[in-house]
């Protein structure tokens, strides 16, 4: 569609189709990103859930790691869910040997903070600054933010106070998967950030 934002979804591994579906529902042109030239064609990026270690290794194998890191550092609006949040974190406390992130969020994350796949759960979350209804949050082998820098806005915590959604400038990260529950508000916020950047 003419005038619709082109939003990349890193398509190396993980729940790519779900994010593509949400973005297209919101009127964006969703572009699967597997090569640097595809990244260069988009005005925003989604990093999906999956296995952060696998996505990291594949991004380096496909020559994408440094390109994504530089794009985020240059202000590319980016949203990461679950593994995507890990990939956006500047620090990972229990990283696998050799694991790297793209960075962009001044946070420290812990992988698989809630346990195994069997420990997956759902809950309702109030998002800071958002009107009702709450977000229905699905946590699947989810990470947690254990430390956030001063520039990081904490958007949501679970009942015990642990941080599960953050924003720093044009970069968003959630421990959970709104793309699987039909809640489009985080993706809409990403599109708003893309629009703001284009108008600047």
Q: Taking the CB of residue 15, how many other CB atoms lie within 10 A of it?
A: 20
Residue entry with tokens 């679970």: 158
Q: Is 179 a catalytic residue?
A: yes
Nearest to 39 by CA among 73, 68, 17: 68
Among the listed residues 82, 122, 124, 150, the single catalytic one is 82
Token pair, residue 49, equals 């859930």
Q: Is 82 a catalytic residue?
A: yes
Q: Is 18 a catalytic residue?
A: no
Among the listed residues 18, 19, 65, 179, the single catalytic one is 179
Among the listed residues 177, 187, 195, 196, the single catalytic one is 177
Nearest to 146 by CA among 90, 80, 72: 90
b/e sequence 77-116, b meaning 16+ C-beta within 10 Å: bbbbbbbbbbbbbbebeebeeeebbbbbbbbbbbbebbee
Question: Catalytic positions, please?
Answer: 82, 177, 179
């Amino acid at each position: 569609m003419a005038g619709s934002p082109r939003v990349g979804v890193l398509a190396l591994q993980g729940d790519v189709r779900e994010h593509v579906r949400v973005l297209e529902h919101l009127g964006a042109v969703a572009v699967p990103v597997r090569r640097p030239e595809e990244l260069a064609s988009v005005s925003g990026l989604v990093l999906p859930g999956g296995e952060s270690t696998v996505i990291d290794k594949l991004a380096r194998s496909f020559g994408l790691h440094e390109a994504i890191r530089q794009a985020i550092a240059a202000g590319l609006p980016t949203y990461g869910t679950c593994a995507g949040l890990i990939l956006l974190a500047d620090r990972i406390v229990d990283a696998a040997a050799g694991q790297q992130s793209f960075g962009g969020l001044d946070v420290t994350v812990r992988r698989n903070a809630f346990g195994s796949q069997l420990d997956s759960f759902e809950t309702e979350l109030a998002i800071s600054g958002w009107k009702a209804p709450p977000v229905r949050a699905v946590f699947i082998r989810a990470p947690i933010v254990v430390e956030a820098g001063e520039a990081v806005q904490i958007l949501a915590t679970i009942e015990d106070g642990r941080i599960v959604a953050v924003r720093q400038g044009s970069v968003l990260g959630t421990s959970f998967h709104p793309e699987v529950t039909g809640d489009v508000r985080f993706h809409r916020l990403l599109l708003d950030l893309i629009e703001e950047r284009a108008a600047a």
